Amino acid sequence: MSRKAVLLDAPAAGALPFSPAVRAGKTLFLSGQVGADPATGAIVRGGVAAEVDQIMKNIGAVLAAAGKDLGDVIKANVYLAHMDDYAAMNEAYGRAFDKPYPARTCIGVAALPLNARVEIEVIVR
């Protein structure tokens, strides 16, 4: 018997084989989000800062379905397709969270889905 619970009322991932969020005990694990507009499925225009702003809206929608918000995030993993975007990502990311900030890791990667410049996943307790 599985001890994990899929958050079924969270915004869907479409036909992709993953859940937007899974609860395991008191911990909520969100799948990575890119800066895709839910209405179109396309990455928002305007560069990495605009993508981070949209990512935070997307994460916020999943968290709201779980009765949580960005203030409940304890850990974030950030994936950048171009480490040159670090400063712009960091500035936009900093606007989304209040102090004390969640623990965070930032990793440079070769590519991201939909040619996104940034992807962020979070953990909530």
- Cis geometry, peptide bond prior to residue 17 (ω within 30 degrees of 0): no
The reply to whether 106 belongs to the active site is yes
Q: What is the DSSP string of 87-110?
A: HHHHHHHHHH-PSSPPEEEEEE-S
- In the DSSP assignment, the letter for residue 114 is G
Candidates 22, 61, 66, 106; catalytic one: 106
As a whole number of angstroms, the distance between CA 19 and CA 92 comes to 26
- List, by residue number, the catalytic residues: 106
